[in-house]
Amino acid sequence: MSTITSEPRVNLKSVTPDVSAAMRALHVAAADNAARAGLPAPLLELLRLRVSQINGCEFCMDLHARDARSGGESAQRLDALFAWPASALFDQREKAAFALAEAITFVHDGRVPDEVYRAAVAEFGEDGTAALIWVCTVINAYNRIAVSTRMVPPSPKAG
């Protein structure tokens, strides 16, 4: 088992600005597509947060929890996100999106099950499901970047 150190890591944005810009463009394209498909921004933030929780990405968890709160998400729902399948705080549509996001994130555990995919299509249609797949793919990629380069959230401001 390896230990986590605080060794300096490469700053991908500085070292590979062209690839970083392409990743940012992919993020913007996925978000724009999700908006055109009618997916609400608060749902996308919850998806990004949930995927980041699964991947253990502290930087992205901090970022998307802050974004969700500033978008009006309640602390109660944010706290319940870990237990979304059993929570009455999330509706069927949100649960279908969370199930798809988790299946995409855990794709190594047996791919995306047909029932999860069908539930997403039933709730979001093909356009919405495609948008969800892109949003989940992008946040998974960002999580891997932040984890591998050991990005940390900004220090809390003294209040």
| DSSP code for 90 | S
- Rounded to whole angstroms, the Cα distance separating 111 from 147 reads 23
Answer whether 43's CB lies under 8 Å from 94's CB.
yes
For 41-73, write each residue's pLDDT tens digit. Answer: 999 999 999 999 999 999 999 999 999 999 999
The mean of the pLDDT values for the chain is 94
Answer whether 87's CB lies under 8 Å from 60's CB.
no
Instruction: List all residues 6 or more positions away from 159 whose beta carbon is below 8 Å from its beta carbon.
Output: none
| DSSP code for 94 | H
For 134-154, write each residue's pLDDT tens digit. Answer: 999 999 999 999 999 999 888
Residue ranges of domains in the chain, CATH in brackets: 12-148 (1.20.1290.10)
Look at the chain and count its residues: 159
Answer whether 130's CB lies under 8 Å from 33's CB.
yes
pLDDT of amino acid 154: 86
